[in-house]
């Protein structure tokens, strides 16, 4: 009995801190419609800034409270800076570009934190009052936990009062429903957006500071927290505060008890919950279907086959790539192999995201399934490399087919989050099924066939397969199927009226993208000689997203350009500086501000300048 109580209270305490982050995220999304990936970074800044402030203050509860509030204000100010210098300039840009910009901020903040606070985890010495216990039903419950538990509902109450009882809150709610209308009524949107972003950032900052006594400030917390916060926001329903609160409670309690009842699946429990909720309620627990923001930023651009000059450029690059082994060293060759694979991986995500209109936050799932599929084929079934390279895409495609039925019913961020959930479930299987997958140690010794052991031969093979794969995807996207897919994305109403079945088309696109990504994964397994759970990590999915977004989704040359630039930039940066995240993040932000249509999109537009699209 007492044990259940303790788990229950622990769950409530973590629900509170989850809610603080998720509340900010959901409010920001509701009003600005920006999917703020940097929200976890604001939380991390809250933890570090809080550490600095609280370490300098006396250890009394009152000073602690003041320190937390100061931290919140500090992070709110940082949020305000991010909003006014970056986001404000791109509210009219396509949604995906805003997502890319916030990724840039994540990278920048990671290096800034590393530079300012160093690589070590920072913990706060706990003064006596913080270590105090009260005894409830014979169990010692930390006072600090009780405090945290109280903060969640209090914050919900405070926000509820703010949003329902003040003029400002009414405006925010109005903007959540229809921001153009609010602007038309003479409300300064810019100030409203900045204020909302600052509020959300402040909440994240407070959350970060409050988490210090029970944990530490560390460099990994941003991605962990953003994933949890996204899950909460999506489960609760985008833009819904009570939904976020309900979801925080559900998820934190499930985690608290799940860790005891099913220790094996704790890593994925939240994602399983999210997947179930999204399958049953496609708009989250308390969410309503979102009214699409008006404006023509998201009007898809005309897709045309590449102009001859671009084709010649592509052919020249391909020729150069084919000749590269004659003069490239072993390191350059391995980078080139990676680039060729990245190209196919990015093109596969593009097929899904661009013409398919399905943004995926978990594209690494197919990549990882392909890699593990190839590894099982050679290590477990003792098959040859060519057979493994057939099993890799086939296995990924089969998984995509099974999973796709759930995905194609959703749209937008909900769809993206369900793909993330699936990727995390795959990751957890690879990580925890140690007897089959080797767990964290992965599967080693996945070497190419004897005839392909020479890195040059393997590179040529990879280049040939990946180029063929990309060209095949391109061919399909320009064929009637690709047009029908794009038609269903452009106008679902019209597509249905001419007899197109959007769900089947999307499912086919997902299977196709899964197969291509699986092939990329299989090729990677042999290139590296091993497979690890890292192949299915969020980081890998983010890589693919960055490549596609950098290149631009509108154009089919985009993902290829994005993959080459991203992989190249990444490897060069890694060699010349240890601040590669900062440089990469700043480059991304700069690219977003300079090329709001992605690299390929912008080149295309410059090409068309003076002519009509």
Partner 1 sequence: MTVLAVAGLVKSFGGVQAVNGVSFSVAAGEMLALIGPNGAGKSTCFNMLNGQIKPDSGRIALNGRNIAGLSPNRVWRLGVGRTFQIAATFASMTVRENVQVALLAHRRHIWRFWRPAAAWFVPEADALLTQVGMRDQAERAASVLAYGDLKRLELAIALANAPRLLLMDEPTAGMAPAERTALMQLTRSLASRQGLAVLFTEHDMDVVFGVATRIVVLNRGELIAEGDGPTIRADPRVRAVYLGSGVTSGGHRC
Of 132, 491, 572, 575, the residue at the interface with partner 1 (CB under 8 A) is: 491
Closer residue to partner 1 (CB): 138 or 612: 612
Of 482, 522, 558, 559, the residue at the interface with partner 1 (CB under 8 A) is: 482
d(CA 346, CA 362): 13
Taking a C-beta distance cutoff of 8 angstroms, is the pair 315, 491 a contact?
A: no
Closer residue to partner 1 (CB): 336 or 553: 553
Of 62, 445, 611, 612, the residue at the interface with partner 1 (CB under 8 A) is: 612
CB of 500 to partner 1, least distance (A): 6
On the 0-12 / 13-18 / 19+ scale of CB atoms within 10 A, 380 is: exposed
CB of 357 to partner 1, least distance (A): 10
Binding of partner 1 at residue 302 (CB under 8 A)? yes
Phi/psi at 447 (5° precision): -95, 155
CB of 293 to partner 1, least distance (A): 16
Q: Which stretch binds partner 1 (CB under 8 A): 140-148, 321-329, 456-464, 497-505?
A: 497-505
CB half-sphere exposure, 488, CA atoms < 13 A? 25
Give CA separation, 288 vs 236, 243, 245, 539, in Å: 10, 11, 16, 30
530 DSSP β-pair partners: 444
- Beta-carbon contacts of 526 under 8 Å, excluding residues fewer than 6 positions away, are 374, 385, 388, 389, 446, 447, 448, 452, 458
On the 0-12 / 13-18 / 19+ scale of CB atoms within 10 A, 260 is: exposed
Q: Which stretch binds partner 1 (CB under 8 A): 3-11, 231-239, 483-491, 560-568?
A: 483-491
Contacting partner 1 within 392-451 (CB under 8 A): none
Of 130, 476, 583, 586, the residue at the interface with partner 1 (CB under 8 A) is: 476
Question: How many residues line the site for partner 1 (CB under 8 A)?
Answer: 32
Query: Which stretches does DSSP call E strand in 417-477?
Result: 443-444
Binding of partner 1 at residue 610 (CB under 8 A)? no
Give the 3-state secondary structure percentages of the chain, helix then strand then coil, rounded to 5.
Answer: 75, 0, 20
Give CA separation, 500 vs 355, 481, 511, 564, 590, in Å: 15, 10, 18, 35, 40
Closer residue to partner 1 (CB): 394 or 608: 608
Of 493, 594, 609, 611, the residue at the interface with partner 1 (CB under 8 A) is: 493
Closer residue to partner 1 (CB): 56 or 302: 302
- Beta-carbon contacts of 94 under 8 Å, excluding residues fewer than 6 positions away, are 297, 298, 553, 596, 597
Q: Which stretch binds partner 1 (CB under 8 A): 138-146, 269-277, 300-308, 387-395?
A: 300-308
Q: Which stretch binds partner 1 (CB under 8 A): 222-230, 387-395, 429-437, 484-492?
A: 484-492
CB of 15 to partner 1, least distance (A): 39
Of 39, 350, 363, 486, the residue at the interface with partner 1 (CB under 8 A) is: 486
Binding of partner 1 at residue 498 (CB under 8 A)? yes
444 DSSP β-pair partners: 530
Classified as helix, coil or strand, 18 is helix
Q: Which stretch binds partner 1 (CB under 8 A): 488-496, 516-524, 564-572, 586-594?
A: 488-496
Of 55, 220, 384, 501, the residue at the interface with partner 1 (CB under 8 A) is: 501
Instruction: Tell me which residue of 448, 100, 339 sits closest to 347, measured CA to CA.
Output: 339
Binding of partner 1 at residue 303 (CB under 8 A)? yes
Binding of partner 1 at residue 300 (CB under 8 A)? yes
Binding of partner 1 at residue 306 (CB under 8 A)? no
Token readout for 154 is 């209090």
Number of H helices and E strands in the chain, helices first, is 26, 4
Contacting partner 1 within 536-565 (CB under 8 A): 554
Instruction: Tell me which residue of 74, 122, 356 sits closest to 219, measured CA to CA.
Output: 122
Of 65, 134, 479, 503, the residue at the interface with partner 1 (CB under 8 A) is: 479
77 DSSP β-pair partners: none
CB of 496 to partner 1, least distance (A): 6
Q: Which stretch binds partner 1 (CB under 8 A): 17-25, 102-110, 238-246, 489-497?
A: 489-497
CB of 384 to partner 1, least distance (A): 28
Binding residues for partner 1, rule: CB under 8 A, are 296, 299-303, 475-476, 478-484, 486-487, 489-491, 493-494, 496-501, 505, 554, 612-613
């Amino acid at each position: 009995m007492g044990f259940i109580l303790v788990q229950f209270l622990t769950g409530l305490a973590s629900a509170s801190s989850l809610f603080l982050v998720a509340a900010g995220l959901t409010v920001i999304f509701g009003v600005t419609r920006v999917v703020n990936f940097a929200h976890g970074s604001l939380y991390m800044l809250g933890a570090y800034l809080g550490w600095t402030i609280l370490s300098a203050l006396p250890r009394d509860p009152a000073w602690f409270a003041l320190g937390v509030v100061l931290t919140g204000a500090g992070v709110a100010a940082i949020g305000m800076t991010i909003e006014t210098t970056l986001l404000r300039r791109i509210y009219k840009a396509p949604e995906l570009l805003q997502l890319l910009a916030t990724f840039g901020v994540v990278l920048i903040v990671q290096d800034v934190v590393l530079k300012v606070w160093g690589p070590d985890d920072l913990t706060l010495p706990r003064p006596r009052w913080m270590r105090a216990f009260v005894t409830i039903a014979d169990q010692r419950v930390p006072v600090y936990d009780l405090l945290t538990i109280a903060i969640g509902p209090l914050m919900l109450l405070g926000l509820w009062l703010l949003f329902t009882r003040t003029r400002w809150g009414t405006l925010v709610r109005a903007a959540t429903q229809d921001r153009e209308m609010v602007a038309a009524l003479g409300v300064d949107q810019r100030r409203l957006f900045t204020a909302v972003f600052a509020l959300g950032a402040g909440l994240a900052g407070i959350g970060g500071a409050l988490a210090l006594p029970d944990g530490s400030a560390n460099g990994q917390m941003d991605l962990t927290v953003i994933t949890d916060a996204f899950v909460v926001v999506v489960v609760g329903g985008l833009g819904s505060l009570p939904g976020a609160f309900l979801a925080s409670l559900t998820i934190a309690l499930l985690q608290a008890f799940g860790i005891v009842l099913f220790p094996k699946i704790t890593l994925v429990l939240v994602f399983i919950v999210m997947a179930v909720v999204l399958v049953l309620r496609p708009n989250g627990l308390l969410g309503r279907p979102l009214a699409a923001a008006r404006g023509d930023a998201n009007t898809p651009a005309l897709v045309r086959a590449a102009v001859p000059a671009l084709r010649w450029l592509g052919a020249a690059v391909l020729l150069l790539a084919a000749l590269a082994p004659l003069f490239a060293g072993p390191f350059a060759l391995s980078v080139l192999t990676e680039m060729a694979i990245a190209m196919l991986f990015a093109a596969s995500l593009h097929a899904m995201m661009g013409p398919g209109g399905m943004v995926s936050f978990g594209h690494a799932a197919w990549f990882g399934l392909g890699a593990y599929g190839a590894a099982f084929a050679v290590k477990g079934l003792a098959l040859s490399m060519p057979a493994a390279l057939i099993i890799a895409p086939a296995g990924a495609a089969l998984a995509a087919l099974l999973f796709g039925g759930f995905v194609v019913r959703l749209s937008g961020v909900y769809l993206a989050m369900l793909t993330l959930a699936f990727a995390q479930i795959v990751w957890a299987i690879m990580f925890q099924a140690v007897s089959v997958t080797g767990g964290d140690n992965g599967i080693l010794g996945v070497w190419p066939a004897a005839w392909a052991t020479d890195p040059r031969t393997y590179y040529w093979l990879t280049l040939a397969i990946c180029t063929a794969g990309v060209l095949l995807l391109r061919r399909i996207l320009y064929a009637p199927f690709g047009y029908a897919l794009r038609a269903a994305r452009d106008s679902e109403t019209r597509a249905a009226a001419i007899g197109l079945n959007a769900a089947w088309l999307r499912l086919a696109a997902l299977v196709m993208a899964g197969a291509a990504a699986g092939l990329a994964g299989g090729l990677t397994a042999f290139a590296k000689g091993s497979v690890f759970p890292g192949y299915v990590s969020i980081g890998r999915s983010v890589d693919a997203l960055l490549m596609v977004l950098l290149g631009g989704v509108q154009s089919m040359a985009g993902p290829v350009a994005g993959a080459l630039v991203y992989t190249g930039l990444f490897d060069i940066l890694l060699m010349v500086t240890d601040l590669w995240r900062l440089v990469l993040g700043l480059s991304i932000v700069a690219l977003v501000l300079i090329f709001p249509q992605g690299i390929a999109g912008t080149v295309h537009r410059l090409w068309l300048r003076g002519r009509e699209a």
